[in-house]
Amino acid sequence: MRHFAAQAIAPADMAALLEAAVLAPSVGNAQPWRFVRLRTPALREALAGHVDAENARAASGYAQEGRREAYRALKLHGLREAPELLAVFCDDHATAGHGLGIATMPEMLRYSCVTAIHTLWLAARARGIGLGWVSILDPAAVTALLDVPPDWTLIALLCLGYPETPSDTPELERRGWQTREPLADRLFER
């Protein structure tokens, strides 16, 4: 979601979303997620400027002129408009969980953070709140900008708010970028 109404998210609703997120399952119950709520206007603008620059660079990567123009026509973030911005990090050295489940797959900590994001996303949708995941960014630059511990890894930069125009169809599908593909093309049996 990238087009947000001006309506703020009530503090009780935002608290409920975060409380739901931290109930997500995690490997070894490590709970490695770290949420940074971005409230400073100057920081919001710095993030938006960074993402705009990365977006321009990404557009140049599309060789086909029609695809490049279609890409440029997309609104790929709501960092200036969304009432709430949330950065989600993984504490790669989380002490909770005592290392259970990560000896052979340390990336499970990061996957656990994605479950927290997914849980937050579902809780938001249940309240009529939309979420946009901003991925056209340089994680190292965002991590430095947010001044978090060096052993935290950026997992997501999220925009949250009420949709300007509610829809059950994803925006990228509505704009002709990519339709949802059938399950039959995504399910394999052995």
With residue 55 as reference, give the H or E element that holds it: helix 41-59
Q: Are strands 130-134 and 152-161 parallel, antiparallel or unpaired?
A: antiparallel
pLDDT digits (tens, 9 = 90+) for 114-169: 999 999 999 999 999 999 999 999 999 999 999 999 999 999 999 999 999 888 88
The ranges of the chain with pLDDT < 50 are none
Q: In total, how many domains does the chain have?
A: 1
- Largest distance between two CA atoms of the chain: 53
pLDDT > 70 in the chain, percent: 100
CATH number of 125's domain: 3.40.109.10
Considering the domain boundaries, does residue 127 fall inside one? yes
- What pLDDT shows up at residue 1? 80
CB 81 within 8 A of CB 161: yes
- What pLDDT shows up at residue 60? 84
Domain range holding 24? 11-177
Grouping H, G, I as helix, E, B as strand and the rest as coil, residue 109 is helix
